[in-house]
Amino acid sequence: MGSSIKLFSVRGINIYMHVTFPLILVWAAIQFGFLAGGSWAGALFGVIVVILLFVIVTLHELGHSFAALNYGVQVREIVLLPIGGVAQLQRIPENPIQEFVIAIAGPAVNFALAIVMGLVVLLFDIPLINPAEVLTNLRAAGPNAIFSYVFFSNIFIGVFNLLPAFPMDGGRVLRALLATRLSYSQATSIAVAIGKGMAWLLGLYGFLGGGFFLILIAFFIYIGASQEEQLVTMRTILRGLTVNQAYSRQARTLRPDDTLKDAINLTLSTFQASFPVCDNDHLAGLLTYPKLVEALTTYGPDTPVEQVMLRDVESVSPTDELFDVQRRFEEDEVDALPVVQDQHFLGLITSRDVSEVYRLLSIDPNLLRNNGQVKVFTAES
Ligand SMILES: [Zn+2]
C-alpha cells in the first residue's frame, strides 16, 4: 500500500491510514470550529471526536477481521479512509452462515461498546447530552459533551452499517439470509438490486441536504454493488471450466542461464510479459516484467535470469477451476501463472486468457462445454 501509512498491527493484521486520512481531521477542525462561531475550542472538539470515532471504526473492522480469521479467511489489511474503514478480506465465504457472522461482527462491536459505555454512564452517573445540544454549545464543550457525542455516534455507526445497502454489512446479512433459501447468484441479484436502490435514496437524501458524505457513501455503495454482481456473474459463467480449456500451450520460456538481455528480446518480440524459467521441462522460476525492470536497474543486462527470477512460484494444474485461478490473479496481484502437471511445465495461463473465455461464454454459455478439449486460442506467439 504505497499510498498508506502503517499505524500498528493486531494478530498479524496491519492497520494502515490512507494518506488522505488527515483531510478528515482538517475538515472536522474547520466544520466544528465554524459551528462554534469560529472558535479553537470547537476545532479541538472536532478533531478529538473524529479521532475517537476512528478508534471505534477500527474496532468495528477488527470485529469483521477476527470473525473472518475464525473461519480461516485471511485478512490482508485494514485501511482507514476519510469516509470510514475497510477490512480487506482475502475472500468472502459463499457459506451463508459464515458471511452472516463476519458481516454482523462489525456492528456487534458497536453495540457491545454501547453497552460498555452505557454501564460507564450508569456507574459514574454521567449526564448524557443530546448531540444536537452539544453542537449548539461547542464553545463550552467538555469531556461530558465529547463522551455523549461519541456514545451516540457509535450507536449511529452500528445502525447505519446495518442498512440493507449491499455491500454494506446489512446488505451482506441480507444476502446471507436470502442465500439460505435461494441460489447464491439469485440471492446476490436481489441484494444488489436493493443495494443500488438504497444508494440512489441515500444519494438523493444527500443532495437534498443530508450532506456531501452521504453522496460519497452512496456512490461507493453503488460501485461496490456493481462489482460484487460482476464477480458472481463471472463465477456463474466460469463454473465447471478448467485451466485446460484456456491456457496458452505456446508460451515462450527462458532457461536459467539465459541473460536479462535474452529476456528483454523475448519481451519485445512477443505479447508475453511474464516468462517461466525452465530447466528442461521443469519449472525453476518466473521472471515477471516488474522483476525484470527492477533487476536491470540493480544488475547489468548480462546477469543470468536464474539470479533474479522469482522462486517458489505458485503454479496451477490443468484441472484447476478457472474461476479460482481468476481469483488468484486478483488476490496475488499477478497476471500470469505457470501451468504445471506432475512437475512438468505445460504452459502459461494469463488473466487475458480468462477474460477471453469469459467474453466468449457471455455470448454463448455452451460454447466450451460440449467438449472438454476445446482450446481457446490466445494472442500469445
Ligand atoms: Zn462493517
Q: What is the CATH number of the domain that holds 314?
A: 3.10.580.10
Q: What's the whole-model pTM score?
A: 0.77
CA 195–ligand 1 middle distance (angstroms): 15
What is the structure's pLDDT at 277? 92
CA 61–ligand 1 middle distance (angstroms): 6
Claim to verify: residue 109 and residue 214 sit in the same structural domain: no
Claim to verify: residue 86 and residue 4 sit in the same structural domain: yes
Task: Please write the tens of the pLDDT for every residue from 284-299.
Answer: 889 988 889 989 888 9
What domain range includes position 108?
A: 1-162
Claim to verify: residue 188 and residue 306 sit in the same structural domain: no
What's the number of domains the chain is made of?
3
Greatest mean pLDDT among 31-45, 52-66, 76-90: 52-66
According to DSSP, residue 206 is labeled I
Mean pLDDT, the chain, rounded, equals 88
CA 96–ligand 1 middle distance (angstroms): 17
Contact 51, 28 (CB under 8 A): no
Which residues are within 5 Å of ligand 1 (an ion), measured at CB? Answer: 106, 161, 169
Q: How far apart are CA 151 and CA 324, in angstroms?
A: 43
**Is 190 within the bounds of a domain?**
yes
Claim to verify: residue 55 and residue 32 sit in the same structural domain: yes
Domain boundary among 216, 238, 260: 238
Q: How far apart are CA 290 and CA 23, in angstroms?
A: 33
In the block, cell 473461519 appears at: 71
Predicted confidence band of residue 310 (pLDDT cuts 50, 70, 90): confident
Domain boundary among 104, 133, 162: 162
**Contacts with 340 (C-beta within 8 Å, 6 or more apart), sequence order:** 283, 315, 316, 317, 346
CA 13–ligand 1 middle distance (angstroms): 16
Which residue from 169, 167, 152 is spatially nearest to 113, judged by alpha carbons?
A: 152
Q: Is the pLDDT of residue 273 over 60?
A: yes
Q: Is the pLDDT of residue 367 over 80?
A: no
CA 60–ligand 1 middle distance (angstroms): 6
Alpha-carbon dihedral angle through residues 201, 203, 209, 211, given to the nearest 10 degrees: 140
Claim to verify: residue 301 and residue 258 sit in the same structural domain: yes
**Is 380 within the bounds of a domain?**
no
CA 122–ligand 1 middle distance (angstroms): 28
What is the structure's pLDDT at 181? 94
According to DSSP, residue 127 is labeled P
**Is 337 within the bounds of a domain?**
yes
Domain boundary among 184, 209, 238: 238
CA 5–ligand 1 middle distance (angstroms): 21
Q: Is the pLDDT of residue 191 over 80?
A: yes
What is the structure's pLDDT at 91? 79
Q: Is the pLDDT of residue 134 over 90?
A: no
What is the structure's pLDDT at 2? 61
Measured between alpha carbons, how far apart are the two ends of the chain, in Å? 34
Percent of the chain with pLDDT strictly greater than 70? 96
